[in-house]
A and B are shown apart, each in its own frame.
Chain A
Amino acid sequence: MRYLKLLLTFWQTSLAARMEYRTAFLAAFLEAGLEAAGKLFGVYLFYANGFDFGGWRWQEALLVMGLATLLDAFFIAIFNPNLRRVSEMVQDGRLDFVLLKPVDSQFWMSTQQFAAVGLPFMVVGVAIVVYAGVISGLGAGGWALLALSLAASLLLAYSLAFIFATTAVWLVKIFNVVYFLNTIVWTGQYPLQAYTRPFRLFMTFVLPIYFMTTAPAELALGRRTALWLGPLFLAALLLFIASRVFWRFALGYYSSASS
């Protein structure tokens, strides 16, 4: 409860601070629309050349693309602005102040900022997912599975991003590490079956992009049984626990700016 209140306060202040830059918000709206159009065009190019991503109807491929857009929006709104600060704060020693606060430091580092420019991307992402879901004929069960597996995939993406960001404790200046993950996730806009075998293996076992966009779509469309939800959540939870353990371990190596 206390953390929920904190979260609200954090995001209210972030929004208020960014309201100063209204042109940026307007530009983000245009950009979100343009980017969705471009991604759609990309999918169209494959279908126009007769490639169906290894057995996906185009509205189903659209669902995967929508999920990727939504995930990307979470990166823009929450993961990127917060996690780049891990690197900033290690660099100038401000992490000390976070550690002194009577709040869980991982919670503080992951939620303190909210970038309003991510909102238009969320709106566009939800719109594409809903549209694609409706024309793919999802039933109530499908929607429920989609929502649940999307939650798991967000947790997975967050945990992975946080683990990457934590390496800043040793490597110090690595703002780009989160952007790296962000662009890799960008490749989740096509279903996994669209890629060649080595890439498929990489996207499943090295960086689990498959579980973030393709797997939720497959579950919702009934291409896999609902039982797969279990392992999906288990993987996400395990990675989340790993991120917490790793953060604690890393803090042991943190030497503040003054000591």
Chain B
Amino acid sequence: MLWALRKALTLVSVYFAYMMEYRGEILFWMLSGVAPFFFMSAWSEAARRGLTPYQANDYARYFFAVFVARQLVIVWAHWNLSEDIRSGKLSFRLLQPIDPVWVYLADHLGERGVRLPMMFAITLVFFWLYPHALVWPGAAGACLGALLAALAFGVNFLVSYSIGLLSLWLEDATEIFDLWYVATLFFSGMLAPLSLYPQAVLQVIAWTPFPYLVYAPAGLWSGMEVDWRRGLLALLFWNLFFLLLSRWLWRAGRRHYSAMGA
């Protein structure tokens, strides 16, 4: 157990150091995640004209939470895998006495170490501009939200990793992840709080992972009504589902690996 922990720590710290080098890039990447603030502005304008069930301040709280939740679940394993498979770098990873999935996971966790301090800075600026949006959701809400966000990251990472493995058959599978990304964009509550969506749409997406990837944690943090029990259940189920899928793809796909020198 101890040796596993030590290995994990080493891997994560290596990738933390690696990502520190590219902090400028990460900053711009974070800034490209500011779209929720524009949606906040549009819904606040709607609220100012007195047309929606929420107040402008509710939207500020909600969309800030959406911004945070989205930052936490960002993944790019599909991109790494696709690159490694095409260029043959995967060969070296196969030689290491460790399943490559841990290396990709460490890459993501190390990056969070660089992203979190920058997120803190953006948080300060936001609450300086919108001081009324600063409302503590309570310890229970905060912790539950963090748990759901962690599970949401799990689903996102496993999907990204599985799609990356498809590159073993398709050469380049990165565009397939964009499909997942677009579905997340529209059904995870980034356009508006899900409570404003029509009932019919909500029923269709109720058991898909999408409403829980962003809306569930963001809703808990900003005091919207969230069915967290169902969210927890759905996220656990989809984690298991994509875990099994990715294991199976890894087993079946390795035989197809035929990059330079393999």
Q: Which residues of B contact A198 (CB under 8 A)?
A: 41
Q: Number of A-B pairs whose CB atoms are under 8 Å?
A: 112
| A195 shortest CB reach to chain B, Å | 5
Q: Are B32 and A49 neighbours in the complex by a CB distance under 8 Å?
A: no
Interface string of B34-46 (1 = CB under 8 A from A): 1100100110111
Q: Are A187 and B24 neighbours in the complex by a CB distance under 8 Å?
A: no
Is B225 interfacial (CB-CB < 8 Å)? no
Stretch of B10-18, B171-179, B226-234 that contacts chain A: B171-179
Is A173 interfacial (CB-CB < 8 Å)? yes
Interface string of B102-122 (1 = CB under 8 A from A): 000000000000000000000
Asked whether A31 and B178 contact (CB < 8 A) given A42-B191, A174-B24, A180-B32, the answer is yes
Q: Are B32 and A196 neighbours in the complex by a CB distance under 8 Å?
A: no
Q: Are B178 and A27 neighbours in the complex by a CB distance under 8 Å?
A: yes
Q: Which residues of B contact A194 (CB under 8 A)?
A: 42, 45
Whole-angstrom CA separation of A117 from B45 in the bound complex? 35
Partner of A187, one of B25, B35, B45, B170: B35
Is A127 interfacial (CB-CB < 8 Å)? no
| CB-based nearest B residue for A35 | B182
In chain B between 169 and 204, which residues have their CB closer than 8 angstroms to a CB of chain A? Answer: 170-176, 178-179, 182-183, 185-186, 191-192, 196-198, 201
Q: Are A179 and B198 neighbours in the complex by a CB distance under 8 Å?
A: no
Q: Are B175 and A23 neighbours in the complex by a CB distance under 8 Å?
A: yes
| CB-based nearest B residue for A179 | B32
Is B33 interfacial (CB-CB < 8 Å)? yes
| A9 shortest CB reach to chain B, Å | 24
| B127 shortest CB reach to chain A, Å | 16
Q: Are A27 and B48 neighbours in the complex by a CB distance under 8 Å?
A: no
Whole-angstrom CA separation of A183 from B185 in the bound complex? 12
A sample of 23 inter-chain contacts (CB < 8 A) reads A21-B171, A23-B170, A24-B176, A27-B178, A31-B175, A31-B178, A34-B179, A34-B183, A34-B186, A35-B182, A38-B186, A42-B192, A46-B46, A173-B25, A176-B28, A176-B29, A179-B32, A180-B31, A183-B32, A184-B34, A195-B41, A195-B42, A199-B41
Given A187-B35, A187-B38, 4 more A-B residue pairs with CB atoms under 8 Å apart are: A173-B22, A173-B24, A180-B29, A195-B38
